[in-house]
């Protein structure tokens, strides 16, 4: 069966949005609006898999929505909404909890990283996180999901869940008159020079909202001065930049800063090395800071402008949720029939 090309992606309101979320995900969402049906989601139900105070969750939900808008997500072109307003996400996630196997979940590296040695005491939601993510995507029969590299494993699991559902219920899918590939096998879109932006303090760690060090990440609401200072203090090494990509091997901090420059300027890493190879960080960091400020500071102003009137943001989310609910209700109705729930 051929599915209408449709894009879904989500970001958690679990802290301050950073350059990794922007370059690895959000910025790549914008051009897709011109070629695909797109749904972009504030995945607040994912955020509560780890503790959030209600005040923080409300604030970060509005901030994340403002960031989507400031980055160029147009709510007339795309459906922009928060997950908890469309109850079918939870319903389909429950069905997928019963399709997926526990071993699939315990194998996830993100679960292992986040649970650490404390896996008996983290929330059950943290373990079932990928099942909810599969529901987010498959509720809309999304065919493409733009994400950063860290989500690759979860997307493979979404494909496994779709295939197992299609197999387990093959007879019922056919007798209800649907094509045998009821759920699509979704394609991840992971591309570009910044699919994994690393911490500014440690080139071996992913830039992350939950890193205790503020200096490890550039936050989308940072002002020009803060951005420049964070780049100046970013960990680097004493060598000049190489002229060829091979020379970045074994230099994670240099590789990361070159990757950030490439992504922000829309060039390849080799283009960046053509321009800066042979120069030290004393020359490269100020150029990177200037570029980052030029690209990011106007967006920070725009985020602040949106946040000055939260009623506009709330209206966008409500409208998006209504439009998403139409698609979600249709899929969930079909899934109920396929499973054999009486209605
Ligand atoms: N460092 C990164 N580089 C590139 N892409 C990244 N993404 C996250 N970090 C990087 C991508 O951003 C999107 C939204 O991520 P998320 O909010 O769902 O959660 P996450 O991946 O767990 O992000 P964080 O910032 O690391 O949050 P915490 O610290 O709460 O776990 C996804 O497409 C992700 O790939």
Secondary structure of 271-319 in HEC code, one letter for each residue: HHHHHHCCCCHHHHHHHHHHHHHHHHHHHHHHHHHHHCCHHHHHHHHHH
Question: What is the distance in A from the centroid of ligand 1 to the CA of 97?
Answer: 23
Distance between CA atoms of residues 221 and 302, nearest Å: 9
42: which 2 tokens?
Answer: 């504030």
pLDDT along the chain (343 residues), means of 10: 90 96 96 96 98 97 98 98 98 98 96 91 97 98 96 97 98 97 96 93 94 96 95 96 97 97 96 97 97 96 96 97 98 98 92
Give dist(CA 196, CA 187) in Å, integer.
18
Ligand 1: centre distance to CA 208 (Å) = 6
114 is catalytic: yes
CATH number listed for the domain at residues 6-195+309-339: 3.40.50.620
Per-domain residue ranges for the chain? 6-195+309-339, 214-305
Q: Is the CB of 200 under 6 A from ligand 1?
A: no
pLDDT at 1: 60
Q: Which of 76, 141, 209, 235 is catalytic?
A: 209
Task: Determine if ligand 1 sits within 6 Å of the CB of residue 25.
Answer: yes
Q: Give yes or no for residue 209 CB within 6 A of ligand 1.
A: yes
The response to whether residue 207 sits with its C-beta less than 6 Å from ligand 1 reads: yes
Known active-site residue 205: no
> In which element (H, E) is residue 16 found?
none
Q: Which CATH number fits domain 214-305: 1.10.645.10, 1.10.240.10, 3.40.1360.10, 3.40.630.40?
A: 1.10.240.10
Mutate to test the pocket of ligand 1, among 13, 25, 108, 260 (most ligand atoms within 8 A of CB): 25
pTM of the model: 0.95
Query: 131 and 155 in contact (C-beta within 8 Å)?
Result: no
Nearest atom of ligand 1 to the alpha carbon of 198: 1
Separation between Cα atoms, residue 273 and residue 241, nearest integer Å: 7
Residue 259 CB less than 6 A away from ligand 1: no
User: Residue 107: how many CA atoms within 13 Å on its side-chain side?
Assistant: 9
Kindly name the residue from 76, 77, 112, 114 that is annotated as catalytic.
114
CA distance 272 to 276: 6
Q: List the strands of the sheet with 144-146, edge to edge.
A: 79-82, 37-42, 6-11, 144-146, 187-189
Cβ(10)–Cβ(40) below 8 Å: yes
Q: Classify residue 160 as exposed, middle or buried by CB count within 10 Å of its CB (0-12, 13-18, 19+).
A: middle
């Amino acid at each position: 069966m051929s599915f209408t090309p449709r894009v879904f992606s989500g970001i958690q309101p679990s802290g301050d949005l950073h350059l990794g979320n922007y370059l690895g995900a959000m910025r790549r969402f914008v051009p897709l609006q011109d070629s695909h049906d797109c749904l972009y989601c504030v995945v607040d139900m994912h955020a509560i898999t780890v503790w959030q105070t209600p005040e923080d969750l409300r604030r970060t939900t509005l901030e994340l929505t403002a960031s989507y808008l400031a980055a160029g997500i147009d709510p007339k072109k795309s459906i922009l909404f928060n997950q908890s307003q469309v109850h079918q996400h939870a319903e389909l996630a429950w069905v997928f909890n019963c399709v997926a196997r526990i071993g699939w979940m315990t194998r996830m590296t993100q679960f292992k990283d986040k649970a650490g040695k404390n896996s008996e005491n983290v929330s059950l939601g943290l373990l079932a996180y990928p099942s909810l993510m599969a529901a987010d995507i498959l509720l809309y029969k999304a065919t493409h999901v733009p994400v950063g590299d860290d989500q690759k494993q979860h997307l493979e699991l979404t494909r496994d869940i779709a295939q197992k559902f299609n197999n387990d219920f093959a007879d019922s899918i056919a007798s209800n008159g649907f094509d045998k590939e009821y759920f699509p096998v979704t394609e991840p879109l992971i591309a570009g020079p910044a699919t994994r932006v690393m911490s500014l303090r440690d080139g071996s760690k992913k830039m992350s909202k939950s890193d205790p060090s503020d200096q490890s990440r550039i936050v989308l609401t940072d002002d020009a001065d803060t951005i420049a200072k964070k780049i100046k203090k970013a960990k680097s090494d004493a060598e000049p930049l190489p002229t060829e990509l091979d020379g970045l091997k074994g230099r994670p901090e240099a590789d990361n800063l070159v990757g950030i420059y490439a992504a922000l300027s829309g060039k390849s890493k080799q283009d960046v090395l053509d321009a800066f190879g042979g120069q030290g960080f004393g020359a490269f960091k100020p150029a990177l800071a200037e570029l980052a400020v030029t690209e990011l500071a106007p967006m920070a102003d725009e985020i602040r402008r949106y946040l000055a009137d939260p009623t506009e943001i709330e209206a966008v989310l409500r409208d998006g949720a209504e439009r998403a609910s139409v698609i979600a209700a249709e899929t969930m109705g079909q899934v109920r029939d396929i499973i054999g729930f009486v209605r």
